[in-house]
Each structure stands twice: as structure tokens, then as C-alpha cells.
Copies of this chain bind each other. A is one copy, B any other.
Amino acid sequence: MATLIAPPNHSPQEDAESLNKAFQGWGTDERSVIAILGHRNVHQRQQIRRAYEEIFHEDLVKRLESEIRGDFEKAVYRWILEPADRDAVLANVAIRNGMNYHIIVEISCVLSPEELLAVRRAYLNRYKRSLEEDVAAHTSGHLRQAKMNADRIGLVYGYLYKIRNPIELLLLGLVTAYRYIGDEINAKLAQSEAEILHEAVKEKKGSQEEAIRVLSTRSKTQLIATFNRYREIHGTSITKKLLDEASDEFQKALYTAIRCINDHVKYYEKVVRNAIKKVGTDEDALTRVVVSRAEKDLKVISEVYYKRNSVLLEHAVAKETSGDYKHFLLTLLGKQE
């Protein structure tokens, strides 16, 4: 269930004109911006963008960027985009910021197969490169660098190449996945692949590649059956096991992938919880979850948050944020004026 409150009837033209009015004069009337955009669904927002372009011959997104600032600007910018386009931007920022691969994993594993394809399409349109191209270029960049140095100083050539970066393979597998959607479960496969995952958890040599194959090709239903089988065999969930034992980046990425596939609501609750708990608050993470889920299942995430923390999510957000940014997030969280 969504938290967004959007009126069924709105006039894109009136909205565009009200926004333009909010931009006039000294400073911007942020409250009006929030009152409008914070109460419009994805289709309505696109209509407003088009109406604004037609009336004022100016891109609303560009205008907003010049009118508002900081976390508020970032949140409004992400919010106004269509979901696939927004995820393309989030992925690109994650790649450029030293490869925050958890966000890449999150996008790949939470979205439906068709939604993921839409993100890849949006990424191509926006950046003129494929998502997997950028992921591959950025994850293995330091390996290639190492190789060239080796050449220069005359080391045995092939050696450094062999140090595979399993995270690259995992990310590429997840990002390019196009899974079957269906309820069929193969119990025998769940059994054998639970063991493959267990080997990857225990860091058996070579087991990583098998785990990647399983996680990037099986349907989500099948994978959840595999995770359940794992718990039956080992008496603890694979995510608990990974949390206790994860020793390297690959295992941490594995952990994120499994959580996103298994129960993305619980996953998002934890992202929000950590973002709020963090000293100084992780605004990027908080914005990402609120903006991405407000039209989908933020209400459910919010309920799980309350159950887990005995604090209302909107109270926690209100406590940790301020100003227009706070006001905007609370609006998307469904807080009535």
C-alpha cells in the first residue's frame, strides 16, 4: 500500500502555473512546491512536466534544480522522475560514487523482471551506455589498472588477470537477469542449490560462481524455496548466517541480494532504520526509500518499522530531518496537513 495522497482530479496546466508562480520573486515558495508535487502520482507528475514545458518553454526539472537546494532538491528531483528513469539515475550515481554496489543489487533484486528491463532501457537513453557496461567498467577498473602496471614492471602477465572480482560477476548476473515469474517450485533443485549457497557462505573456493548462477537465473519463487530449504537444513536462515559470518564484500553483496529477493519490505525497513540511526542521518538512503516506495508499499514498510522500533516512521523522520526536506518527506509519507 502506498502512502502518497494524490487527488484524482487535478489540472496539469493549473499545477504548472502554480509552480511557476512559486518560483517568482525573491526566493522560492517551497511550501507550494511541496503542496503540489508531494500530492501527485507518477502520471500526474509527467503531465505537469509536459504542461510546464508547453506553457513556459522550459524544463520543469531544470528550473527546480535552480530554485531549490540540498537534500530537498535531491528528493524532489528523484521524485519527479518516472520510476525507471529514477532508478537509472540512482544506479548511475551509485556507480560513480565509488560503486555503491548495494544500490545496484537492490534495484536488480527488488524490481520485477520487466521493471528491471525498463531501468536498463532508461539507462541507455540517459547515458548512451548500457548499465552492465558501466557496472563492468567500474567494478573491474582497479584490476585492469593493476594489470597494466604489471606489464610495465615486467611481472608475469596473466597472473593478475586471474584475480577475478566475484562482485563484478554477481552484479552483472543480477543486473542482466530476466527471471521467470511463476509459482512452480522444484524441490530437488531447492535442496541442491541450498547447499551451493551454503558453500558460498562458508567461502569454499570456487563456490561463488555457482552461487552467482543460482541467484541470477532462478525465479524468485524458486529462490525463496531454496532459502527456506536452507533454514530447514541448517537451523538458521542464510541471511542470519551471512550476517554472522560475512567476511568480505562479496558475501555482503550476497546478503543484500538474498534479503531483497526474500522480503524486500523487511529489507527496506532496515535501510530506513539504519539511515535514521546513523549519526547525522543518511539522507540519501532515506530519500531513496521514501521516494521509491511512496507510490508502492511505503505504508507496509512503515508498519513493519513501527512493529520493529515502537516508533512511528513519520515521527522518527520528523526528529532526524528538518526544513523543507522534512516537510516533503512527511508529505510523501502521507502525513495530512
Chain A residues bordering chain B, tally (CB within 8 A): 43
Task: Please give the count of copies of this chain that the complex contains.
Answer: 2
Are B132 and A205 within 8 A (Cβ)?
no
Question: Cβ of A112 < 8 Å from any Cβ of B?
Answer: no
* Residue from B128, B161, B164, B178 within 8 A of A124 (CB atoms): B178
Question: Cβ of A130 < 8 Å from any Cβ of B?
Answer: yes
Are A128 and B176 within 8 A (Cβ)?
no
Are A161 and B130 within 8 A (Cβ)?
no
Known: A140-B213, A213-B140. A129 touches B180 (CB 8 A): yes
Question: Cβ of A207 < 8 Å from any Cβ of B?
Answer: yes
Query: Cβ of A131: which chain B residues have Cβ within 8 Å of it?
Result: 178
Question: Cβ of A209 < 8 Å from any Cβ of B?
Answer: yes
Are B205 and A128 within 8 A (Cβ)?
no
Are A120 and B161 within 8 A (Cβ)?
no
| Complex interface residues of chain A between 197 and 250 (CB less than 8 A to chain B) | 204-207, 209-210, 213, 216-219
Are B205 and A158 within 8 A (Cβ)?
yes
24 A–B contacts from the bound complex (CB under 8 Å): A121-B178, A124-B178, A124-B180, A128-B180, A128-B184, A129-B180, A130-B179, A132-B177, A132-B216, A133-B218, A136-B213, A136-B217, A140-B213, A157-B204, A157-B205, A158-B206, A159-B206, A161-B206, A161-B209, A161-B210, A162-B205, A162-B206, A164-B209, A176-B176
